[in-house]
Homo-oligomer: A and B are copies of this chain.
Amino acid sequence: MIQGILLDLSGVLYTGNQVIPGALTALQQLRDKNLPVRYITNTTRKPSAAIIKQLTAMGFNVKLEELFTAPIAARDYLKDNRLTPYLLVHPELEEEFTTLEQGDNVNAVVVGDAAEGFSYDRMNRAFRYLLENANLVALGINRYFRDGDQLCLDAGPYIKALEYASGKTALVFGKPAHAFYMSAVDNIGCLSEATIMVGDDIESDVIGAVDAGLQGILVQTGKYRSGDETRLPGNAVCVKDIAAAVEYILYHC
């Protein structure tokens, strides 16, 4: 029985700014059935408001509280534990953390895809906070990403650098971290075995979710590559696209 649905965004609902055919209708079908949905993404360059704006412009009807990103999960963790962060994140993402206490008494270093923000000076500041008493909080540990025709370093390498320098281990938010999937399941209010994750990344979306006790659906759009389905774990299926995924869900809910 499927009671809750986690949906990846890019590659599942749209590619670039192009809606994947059938996506709008499929999401409306889930809404008509009153099935709880969370939109899950590892994006660490855009705050929630900007993601909602982008989705709305493409015709999707997504509420702020249905969005569950690595930065949101990290922010909630900082808030629950009353931690004051030092932010080594993309400038556009900083607004996601403005509701938190700011101050000199830093006890968490938050690292996302800071790009040019990964200067020697800021890395040193982060490192010194870690040597004092701060925790290391990672918004994903991806190795690199494609920007136009070039590959660029993502947050992962810089997190490994700070782990090596400080001897601390990062608390990782974002897919495929087990704790992140647990937070999402907690957020949607369903049992993990009754929650299904739909994504185009066999590793991060499907294997990661199944490892955390969820069910999984791999769609053959976005970054899917022929042959990915041979790596499907138990408790996961592979279907053509988001429309077929919703058809499968409606049949099993």
The answer to whether B143 and A165 touch across the interface, beta carbons within 8 angstroms, is yes
Give the chain B neighbours of A153 by CB distance below 8 A. 120, 123-124, 127, 161, 165
Measured CB to CB, the nearest residue on chain B to A126 is B153
Q: Cβ of A160 < 8 Å from any Cβ of B?
A: yes
How many copies, total? 2
Give the chain B neighbours of A151 by CB distance below 8 A. 124, 127-128, 131
- Expressed in whole angstroms, the minimum distance between the Cβ of A81 and any Cβ of chain B is 26
The answer to whether B164 and A150 touch across the interface, beta carbons within 8 angstroms, is no
Fill in one digit per residue for A113-136: 1 if any B CB lies within 8 Å of its CB, else 0: 011111111011001100100000
- Expressed in whole angstroms, the minimum distance between the Cβ of A123 and any Cβ of chain B is 6
The answer to whether A160 and B164 touch across the interface, beta carbons within 8 angstroms, is yes
Give the chain B neighbours of A121 by CB distance below 8 A. 116
Q: Cβ of A208 < 8 Å from any Cβ of B?
A: no
Fill in one digit per residue for A132-158: 1 if any B CB lies within 8 Å of its CB, else 0: 000000000001100000111100111
Q: Cβ of A7 < 8 Å from any Cβ of B?
A: no
Fill in one digit per residue for A71-97: 1 if any B CB lies within 8 Å of its CB, else 0: 000000000000000000000000000
Give the chain B neighbours of A119 by CB distance below 8 A. 116, 119-120
Report the bound CA distance from A114 to B162 in whole Å. Answer: 16
What's the interface size class on A, roughly? 20 to 34
- Expressed in whole angstroms, the minimum distance between the Cβ of A150 and any Cβ of chain B is 7
Fill in one digit per residue for A219-247: 1 if any B CB lies within 8 Å of its CB, else 0: 00000000000000000000000000000
Report the bound CA distance from A120 to B154 in whole Å. Answer: 10
* Chain B CB within 10 A, most for which of A127, A152, A158, A161: A161
- Expressed in whole angstroms, the minimum distance between the Cβ of A194 and any Cβ of chain B is 36
Give the chain B neighbours of A116 by CB distance below 8 A. 119-121
The answer to whether B162 and A157 touch across the interface, beta carbons within 8 angstroms, is yes
Query: What would 12 more interface pairs be, CB under 8 Å, given A127-B153, A160-B163?
Result: A115-B120, A116-B120, A116-B121, A118-B120, A119-B119, A123-B153, A143-B164, A143-B165, A156-B165, A158-B161, A160-B160, A161-B161
20 A–B contacts, CB within 8 A, in A order? A116-B120, A117-B120, A118-B123, A119-B119, A120-B153, A123-B153, A124-B152, A124-B153, A127-B151, A127-B153, A128-B151, A131-B151, A143-B165, A144-B165, A156-B164, A157-B162, A157-B164, A160-B160, A160-B161, A161-B161
By a beta-carbon cutoff of 8 Å, the part of chain A in contact with chain B is 114-121, 123-124, 127-128, 131, 143-144, 150-153, 156-158, 160-165
